[in-house]
Chains A and B, each alone.
Chain A
Amino acid sequence: AQKVTQAQTEISVVEKEDVTLDCVYETRDTTYYLFWYKQPPSGELVFLIRRNSFDEQNEISGRYSWNFQKSTSSFNFTITASQVVDSAVYFCALSDSNTGNQFYFGTGTSLTVIP
Chain B
Amino acid sequence: KAGVTQTPRYLIKTRGQQVTLSCSPISGHRSVSWYQQTPGQGLQFLFEYFSETQRNKGNFPGRFSGRQFSNSRSEMNVSTLELGDSALYLCASRGTVTTNEKLFFGSGTQLSVL
Contact = CB atoms under 8 A, between A and B. Distances in A.
Interface of A: 9, 31-33, 35, 37, 42-47, 50, 52, 91, 95-97, 99-108
B25 to A, nearest CB: 14
A103 B33 CA distance: 10
A18 B100 CA distance: 29
B97 A101 contact: yes
A45 B90 contact: yes
Nearest to A45: B105
Given A43-B88, A43-B108, A108-B42, A103 B98 contact: no
A95 B45 contact: no
A4 B74 CA distance: 27
Interface of B: 3, 33, 35, 40-43, 45, 48, 55-56, 88, 90, 92, 97-108, 110
A43 B55 contact: no
B55 A47 contact: no
B31 to A, nearest CB: 9
B103 A42 contact: no
Contacts of B41: 107
Contacts of A47: 102-104
Given A107-B40, A107-B41, A95 B105 contact: no
Nearest to A31: B99
Q: Which 7 A-B pairs have the closest CB atoms?
A: A107-B42, A45-B105, A105-B43, A44-B107, A43-B108, A102-B56, A101-B99
A68 to B, nearest CB: 15
5 contacts: A42-B107, A43-B110, A45-B92, A50-B102, A101-B101
Contacts of A42: 107
A92 to B, nearest CB: 10
| Residue in A9, A33, A46, A101 whose Cβ sees the most chain B Cβ within 10 Å | A101
